[in-house]
């Protein structure tokens, strides 16, 4: 039998333990969030050099829209990530369905090739694409091929493997009989794809799309190597302004844009959570 003292001791140990856990999580959260917090503060900072807090202002949120270079970069970032996400999601899903129907040996081989861009160093992937575009340019007699199109192709290229990786496990879970039943009931393979397979792998497709979008939206290294000299996305805009620290009042506008993005992401996450919680509740009732 445990004595009362022992029970008390265990309770204290547990309390100290959960206190430690909480402190640890809080510290990690601080490590992750502190830079973001600083970016948000700086976006409202009237001191444009950001070396001191010079009072609260909305100035940068207005000036952001007047900066043509920044605006162009934002348009490139957003348009590239939307188009490449849509294309990569559609292609990646079809490719995953294809890979899933291969025999096990070929399937493994395809997954291996699929994972090369996922694991490969971004610099090496960027260089590889640069070489392909450059060689292709020489072959068709256009040396200055690098630009918006090559940037888009590159983004589609590095996004597809993430879609494939998110869709494959869902395909694995599908009951094969379901597909056979659809065919028996008069579906063509194409309509079985649309009515049976796609709906059952929808969560995987959405995860893949989200990953593809995040990857594309934030990419620097690969974009930098394949976009040529005219086209810049937001990351490249930052890199180009890297040397202009201090006097140029360029940075606060970048902080302002980034803060808007953070806010939208946070909002989307909260909405997603509310919807998920509601769905869970509905399931519980049924």
Give residues 131-160 in contact with other proteins (rule: CB under 8 A). 131-132, 134-135, 138, 157, 160
By CB under 8 A, residue 193 contacts other proteins: yes
By CB under 8 A, residue 99 contacts other proteins: yes
CB-nearer residue toward other proteins: 60 or 234 = 234
Radius of gyration of the chain (CA): 25
By CB under 8 A, residue 86 contacts other proteins: no
**Neighbouring residues of 88: CB distance < 8 A, sequence distance ≥ 6:** 155, 156, 159, 160, 162, 163, 208, 212
* Separation CA 159–CA 88 (nearest Å): 6
User: Which listed residue (6, 69, 79, 115) binds other proteins by CB under 8 A?
Assistant: 115
Evaluate whether 253 touches 67 at the Cβ level (below 8 Å). yes
CB-nearer residue toward other proteins: 59 or 258 = 258
Dihedral angle of Cα 193, 198, 200, 204, to the nearest 10 degrees: 140
By CB under 8 A, residue 61 contacts other proteins: no
* Separation CA 174–CA 169 (nearest Å): 9
User: Which listed residue (4, 112, 185, 286) binds other proteins by CB under 8 A?
Assistant: 112
- In whole angstroms, the minimum distance from the beta carbon of 243 to other proteins comes to 9
The candidate with the shortest Cα–Cα distance to 212, out of 71, 91, 76, 32, is: 91
By CB under 8 A, residue 239 contacts other proteins: yes
Residues in region 23-52 near other proteins by CB under 8 A = 24-25, 28-29, 31-36, 38-39, 42, 50-52
By CB under 8 A, residue 16 contacts other proteins: no
- In whole angstroms, the minimum distance from the beta carbon of 117 to other proteins comes to 7
By CB under 8 A, residue 62 contacts other proteins: no
Q: CA of 172: how far to CAs of 72, 83, 153, in Å?
A: 42, 28, 29
With contacts defined by CB under 8 A, name the span among 4-12, 55-63, 80-88, 114-122 that binds other proteins. 114-122
DSSP 64: G
Residues in region 207-236 near other proteins by CB under 8 A = 207, 211, 214, 218, 220-221, 225, 229, 234-235
User: Which listed residue (81, 85, 89, 166) binds other proteins by CB under 8 A?
Assistant: 166
Alpha helices of 44-147 — where are they, by DSSP H? 59-63, 68-100, 104-119, 122-139
Q: And the tokens for 191? A: 């309509």
């Amino acid at each position: 039998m445990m004595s009362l003292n022992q029970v008390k001791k265990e309770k204290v140990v547990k309390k100290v333990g959960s206190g430690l856990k909480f402190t640890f999580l809080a510290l990690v959260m601080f490590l992750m969030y502190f830079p973001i917090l600083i970016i948000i503060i700086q976006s409202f900072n009237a001191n444009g050099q950001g070396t001191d807090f010079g009072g609260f202002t909305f100035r940068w949120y207005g000036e952001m829209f007047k900066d043509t270079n920044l605006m162009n970069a934002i348009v490139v970032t957003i348009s590239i990530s939307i188009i490449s996400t849509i294309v990569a999601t559609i292609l990646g899903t079809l490719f995953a369905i294809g890979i899933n129907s291969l025999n096990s040996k070929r399937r493994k081989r395809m997954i291996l090739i699929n994972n090369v861009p996922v694991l490969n160093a971004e610099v090496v992937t960027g260089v590889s694409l640069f070489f392909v575009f450059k060689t292709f340019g020489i072959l068709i007699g256009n040396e200055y091929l690098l630009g918006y199109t090559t940037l888009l192709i590159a983004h589609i290229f590095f996004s597809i493997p993430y879609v494939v990786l998110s869709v494959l496990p869902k395909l694995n879970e599908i009951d094969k009989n379901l597909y056979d039943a659809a065919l028996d009931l008069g579906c063509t393979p194409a309509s079985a794809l649309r009515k049976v397979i796609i709906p059952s792998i929808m969560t995987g497709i959405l995860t893949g799309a989200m990953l593809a979008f995040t990857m594309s939206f934030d990419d620097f290294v690969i974009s930098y190597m394949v976009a040529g000299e005219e086209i810049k996305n937001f990351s490249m805009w930052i890199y180009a302004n890297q040397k202009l620290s201090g006097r140029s009042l360029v940075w606060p506008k970048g902080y302002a844009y980034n803060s808007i993005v953070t806010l939208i992401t946070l909002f989307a996450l909260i909405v997603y959570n509310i919807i998920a919680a509601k769905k869970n509740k509905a399931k519980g009732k049924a």
